[in-house]
Structure formats: C-alpha cells, structure tokens
Amino acid sequence: MRVEKAKTVALVILVTSSLLMSGWLWLGVGGAALAPPTPLGAERATRLEGPSLRELTAPERMIIRRAGGAVYAYPGSTVYERIWEDGRLAALVVAASEERIQRQELDPDELQRLREETVEIVLPVRLSWSSWLLLWGGSGIRGVGPAVDRLSIALQDPTRVVAWAAGEREVVTMRLPVVPDYVARLLGDAELPAGLPARPLQVSSEVSLLSGIYVPDIPSVPRVICRTARVDPEEMAASFFVDRSLVRRIVEKDGAVIYTDGQQGLRVYPSGMLEYCAALPQADPGLPQLGAALRQLCDFASTHGRCPPGCFLAQVSIMGGLPAHQGYSFVFGMRCAGLPVLGPRAALEATVGPYGVRTYVRYLRELEVHQSRLPLILAAEEAVHLALEVTENPHAQVVDVYLAYYDPSAPTWERQLRVVWVVAFAGGRTVLVDARDGTIWDGGPR
C-alpha cells in the first residue's frame, strides 16, 4: 500500500509539472528577448484625442470691414467663433467648390473693391486651393489651383466667396449654397460687431503698400509668461518604444538623452524639446494624401505625449526625390491670447512619408496669460519704416502687417514673451519689429 501511495503522489507531481510546463511554453519563454525588432511606428501609449484638421487649419484672424470702420476678431473671440462655427464655414466652402469654382485674375482696383465691406478671413498658411479642400474634408479639384491664404465674403453679395493671397492676382471665386448665419446677422445690423477696433495702415506715399491693410487699433496686449515644459525622458521613451529591453541610452554632455533601438531614435533635451526619427524602409506603399498625412501626424503627436496646446498648421511643403524619401514636411505654430507665437523654434516640425511619421521635433512650452498688459509703444507705421530699413529695398511692397508674440527661446526656465509687429513683404519675406522698443527679431519658423 505504501508503494501505491508513493506512486499516486509521484503521478500528481508529474501531472502538475506537465501542466505547468505546458502553460510555460504556451505563454512563451524569453519571448521578449527573441522577438523581432520593434516595428516602425509601433505605439502603445494611451492615445489622447488630437486636434481635428479643421482646428489645425482654423483662421489666424478675421477683419470685418464696413463703411463705418473695421474690427479685428482673433481666435477665442465671440465674433470669430460665430463666423467660423467650428469649421461649418469651411464645410460650406467645400460644398461650394464641389459645385463650381472660377479661377480669375484681379487687377489692383478689383482687389481694393474686394476688400471693402467684407468679412476677410486670414488663414494660417498659404496652400493651393486644392490642398485647402482636401484638408477641409473635400475631394480636391482638378489641378491644384492658386496658392491662397485668405477668404473674403462680400457683404454686398454674401454668397460670393473669393479665395486669394496677399500680393497675388490669381483668385478662386465660388458661390456658397447659403449665407452663413452670422454673416446674415451682420447684414441686418448697421453697426460693427463687438471686436478689437482696427484702422487702415497709413504710411507715406513713398512706401509701396497693398491696398486695404488694416491694423489693430489697440494700446496694449495681455502679458504672457512662457515656461519650458518639464519632460521626463524615461516617460517619453516608454511611449515611443514597445520593447525597452532593446533600447539603449546615450546621455549627452549637455544633459540630453538619446534612446535608440536601431530602427527609431528619440532625443529628449533638457529644454523639453524632443526629436524623433525613424529609419527609411525599403518598400514603397505610396504616399498618403495630404489630409491623411496630417491626420497621421496628429495621431502620432497625441499618442506620444500631446500636440502643443493652441497649435495650428503654419507651413506645408512637399518633399520629392526617391519614392522612399517622398513625403510632406509640416510645421506647426502655436497661439496664445489669439495671437501667433513666433520665434526661432517651431512648436512642432515633422515629416510624414509613405510609412508614416519619419522625423518629429516637438518643443513644448506652457504659456500663461496674465491680467496685466504690455503696452504697444511703437505704432504699426513706425514698424513698417524700420522693417523697410532692414530689407534695404525701399521699393519692397508691404502686403500685410499684424501683431504677434515673440518667444526668443532663451535658455531660461521662465521668460516673458515680447510683442511684435510682423511686416510681411511681397515674395514671402517677413520682418519682426518689437512693438515696445523697435528691436528687429529673427523670425525663424513659427
């Protein structure tokens, strides 16, 4: 009997151990160590909701001109939000373009008439009309159309919309299916809506000026404090690399930390800036459409941390070359208190290729709007004259003048943003003039 008892115990042990070993094998032993390298763009971090394409491409500002004067409307203001209606205006424009558009050239007199009695919507980036339609959910148009960065809705004929660019003669005109609600309300109201007062830019006749430039007529802007965002390198790395056991770390002498698994590289700077790049695969699945590429970038940014708050699309360019090198280059700016924040470093710069995000540089800052205000000591006209001196071309045509904040990106933890007049010239050059002391700042990317 004793032998039988021993055999029973031995059998139980053997059955248990076989079950354990089967489970061990089923779940995998050392699987992580032997797994193939992390696939490109593999993501595991919690995905946050990123901005929509219409949010990213929302207008930079609006100018409502009537016979009795003009007002400025910046993002966040009631007038702005009512006109833009979370992108409903963009949807109307897309619908109108799907029906029929007309491309034509306007002479300077026609352009001046176009800017009278209008709602002028200044877009954040100059893009071909076809690209705008793709970004706003349309199917594009045949051909690319002229590059535009403004929409004008004539108050005399409120279903007619003209898409145009400052300094260019070719425009696109279309008819909206309905009059936008708030524009209809403006028509029924003889008064200007509540907004920041604006006045025409008045410079000496020697200055070449595009007609119809209005500048904000305000004495000051809110004071903004900028703080470098604290970024935990290990936390960031965890969001980029699925298998950390394959990742090595390089700590640079300036405190920046590089993580790489051979396929992807991530560098986190002490300033909170981060750079990411992925290896180029050999195969070519084809370049995504502009809207899809931008969507991929937003998803990527949201998955790996977040999109900088208040960001907007500031530049787009198409990269040519070999199929694997083709793609889009995007630059995002950021806004604070309705004004764009300019400076040597963009909020986000990235390239998106056939396989998704290839390079990614994010510069995260925290901006705090204070109750106190920064006075505008320098008038816009003085800024124009200073900018003309910088260009060393007295005949350069001024096509736009607007206010912005400027972040010198000094290596300090906390700094106050400057306020600048941005003087834009025909041909694309911009000069940043400090509105307090006339200092000329390097524009750099937004």
Partner 1 sequence: MADRGDGGLHMDWARAKTVLMVAFLALNLFLGHQILQERTGRIASGSREEVELLREALAQAELVLGCRLPKPRQMSLLQVRTLPWDEAALLQTFFPSPPEVCRGDGGRKYRLGDEELSLSGEGTLRVTLSAGLAPDDLGGHQVRALAARYLERLGGIPGGGRLDFIAACPGGWVVQYVQVYQGWPLFGGGLRMVVGTGASVELECYWFEPLGFVGRPQMVLGASQALLRALQDPQAWPPGSRVIADVSLGYYSHPYDAAHWEAVPVWQVRMGSGDLLWVNALTGMVEGVRPAPR
Residue from 262, 285, 427, 444 touching partner 1 (CB under 8 A): that is 262
| Residue type (1 letter), 304 | H
Nearest distance in Å: CB 423, partner 1: 40
Q: Which of 46, 204, 245, 371 binds partner 1 (CB under 8 A)?
A: 245
Min dist CB 249 to partner 1, Å, is 5
CB of 78 to partner 1, least distance (A): 53
Q: Report the distance separating Cα 83 and Cα 77, nearest Å.
A: 10
Best CA proximity match to 149, nearest among 177, 122, 173, 169? 122
What residues between 280 and 309 interact with partner 1 by CB under 8 A?
none
Site string for partner 1, 206-235 (x = CB under 8 A): ------------------------------
Q: Are strands 327-336 and 348-353 parallel, antiparallel or unpaired?
A: antiparallel
From 46-54, 225-233, 245-253, 418-426, give the range in contact with partner 1 by CB under 8 A: 245-253
Minimum CB–partner distance for residue 110 and partner 1 (Å): 59
CB atoms within 10 A of CB 72: 24
Residue 391 Cα distances to 200, 398, 432, angstroms: 23, 11, 11
CA distances from 315 to 116, 139, 214, 441, 445 (A): 29, 21, 24, 20, 9
Applying CB under 8 A, the site for partner 1 has a residue count of 33
CB count in 10 Å sphere of residue 428 = 9
C-alpha span between 387 and 208 (Å, rounded): 13
Q: Which of 363, 281, 290, 302 is nearest to 330 (CA)?
A: 290
**Considering beta carbons, is residue 18 or 139 the nearer one to partner 1?**
18
Question: Which letter, b or e, does each residue of 25-64 get, where b requires 16 or more Cβ atoms within 10 Å of its Cβ?
Answer: eeeeeeeeeeeeebeebeeeeeeeebbebbbbbbbbbbbb
**Which residue of 2, 4, 107, 190 would you call a contact of partner 1, by CB under 8 A?**
4
How many Å apart are CA 75 and CA 35, to the nearest integer?
49
Residues 229 and 365 sit within 8 Å (Cβ to Cβ):
yes
Residues 23-52 within binding reach of partner 1 (CB under 8 A): 24-25, 28-30, 32-34, 36-37
Q: Which of 48, 178, 194, 250 binds partner 1 (CB under 8 A)?
A: 250
Q: Closest distance between partner 1 and the C-beta of residue 96, in Å?
A: 52
Asked whether 62 and 121 are in contact (CB, 8 A), the reply is: yes
Report whether 161 contacts 172 (CB < 8 A): no
In contact, 296 and 288? CB cutoff 8 Å? yes
Q: Of the two residues 41 and 222, which places its CB atom closer to partner 1 in the complex?
A: 41
Least spacing, CB of residue 322 vs partner 1, in Å: 15
Among 86, 235, 252, 368, binds partner 1 (CB under 8 A): 252
Q: Kindly state the DSSP code that residue 180 receives in the 8-state scheme.
A: -
| Of residues 67, 72, 94, 95, the one with CA closest to residue 83 | 72
DSSP H or E run through 8:
helix 2-27
Tell me whether residue 194 or residue 251 sits nearer to partner 1 (CB atom): 251
Q: For partner 1, give the closer residue by CB, 24 or 211.
A: 24
Please identify, using beta-carbon distances, which residue of 26 and 46 lies nearer to partner 1.
26
**Residue 34 or 190 having the CB closest to partner 1:** 34
**Residue placing its CB nearer to partner 1 in the complex, 66 or 267:** 267
Q: Nearer to partner 1 by C-beta: 264 or 303?
A: 264
Specify the residue, 8 or 102, whose C-beta has the smaller distance to partner 1. 8
67: contact with partner 1 by CB under 8 A: no
The yes or no reply on residue 2 touching partner 1 (CB under 8 A) is no
Taking only Cα atoms into account, the Rg of the chain, rounded to an integer number of angstroms, comes to 28
Please state the closest distance from residue 22 (CB atom) to partner 1, in A: 6
Q: Which is nearer to partner 1, 267 or 365 (CB)?
A: 267
Q: Which of 318, 316, 315, 358 is nearest to 340 (CA)?
A: 315
Smallest separation, CB 10 to partner 1 (Å): 6
Q: Is the CB of residue 210 less than 8 Å from the CB of residue 95? A: no
CB closer to partner 1, 179 vs 279:
279
- Residues 7-26 as x/- pattern, contact with partner 1 by CB under 8 A: xx-xx--xx-xx--xx-xx-
**Closest of 17, 43, 8 to residue 266, by C-alpha:** 43
* Interface with partner 1, residue 248, by CB under 8 A: yes
In angstroms, what is the minimal distance from the CB of 87 to partner 1?
Answer: 44
Stretch that binds partner 1, among 71-79, 242-250, 326-334, 424-432 (CB under 8 A): 242-250
Query: Which residues contact partner 1 by CB under 8 A?
Result: 4, 7-8, 10-11, 14-15, 17-18, 21-22, 24-25, 28-30, 32-34, 36-37, 245-246, 248-253, 258, 261-263
